[in-house]
Amino acid sequence: MMTGRVQRSLLAAGMVALAMTYAPQAEASLVLNTNANGVGSYTVDSGPTVSDNGTLRPDPSSTIGVNVLTFAVPAGQTSSPGDVLIYDPTNTTLIADFRFTDAAGDLSGVHGIDRAIFYSIARAGNPADTGLPSNAGSGTSIRVQVNASGFVSYVTTPNVYNLQTEFIPAAGVPEPPSLVLSGLAAGLALAFRRFRGRKTVA
């Protein structure tokens, strides 16, 4: 026959085991890197880098009518589905949408996600260049903006999503190489005018 002390010890051990069984599990820390050309990779809990290139697949979350650039999200991620609406550096023009969803196309629930879809308005011939879905932002969404190079890093603890878009600076704002070429052309033109002037005087 068990003594009261033994019974209490067994009860305590059972309660600890029960608590461990039903305790919420911490989500693994995910760092996902993607670009509009379909090149992707990820790490989980600072582990090794895993290739995660996107593929063109049917879109369960919209009626866009074409296959869309889809990246697999590692199992065990419990982030909520929804849209990361990506704006240009002035935060005025929506240029891309990075969507977290599942096989059912959920955009506002609390289920785990199994995929991310990259949509872009660019027309550079890259896999993401399908245009934006008509229901962009209709579910859970957050708004971010890219830097001058078209890059944005979106953080939702404990995860980090690094996204490279195809943003191109507006016309009329020359890039550094263009400035160099413009300066060179102007210098050559000035030298030519001076040469002609000297030849005329002679």
Residue 110: its pLDDT value, please? 67
Quote the pLDDT of residue 29. Answer: 87
Distances, alpha carbon 7 to alpha carbons 2, 96, 119, 154, in Å = 6, 62, 61, 52
As a whole number of angstroms, the distance between CA 146 and CA 139 comes to 22
Which pLDDT score is estimated for 27?
56
Residue 100: which H helix or E strand, with range? strand 94-101
Q: What is the pLDDT of residue 124?
A: 84
pLDDT at 28: 66
| The residue to which tokens 């935060």 are assigned | 91
What was the pLDDT predicted at 146? 95
How much of the chain is in helix, strand and coil states, percent to nearest 5?
20, 30, 50
Q: Which two tokens stand for residue 88?
A: 């240009």
pLDDT at 13: 40
**Nearest partner of 124 among 38, 58, 66, 32, judged by Cα:** 38
Q: In this predicted structure, what is the pLDDT of residue 33?
A: 95
Q: Which residues of the chain have pLDDT under 70?
A: 1-28, 77-78, 110-111, 169-202
User: Which pLDDT belongs to residue 150?
Assistant: 93
3-state secondary structure of 159: strand
pLDDT at 23: 39
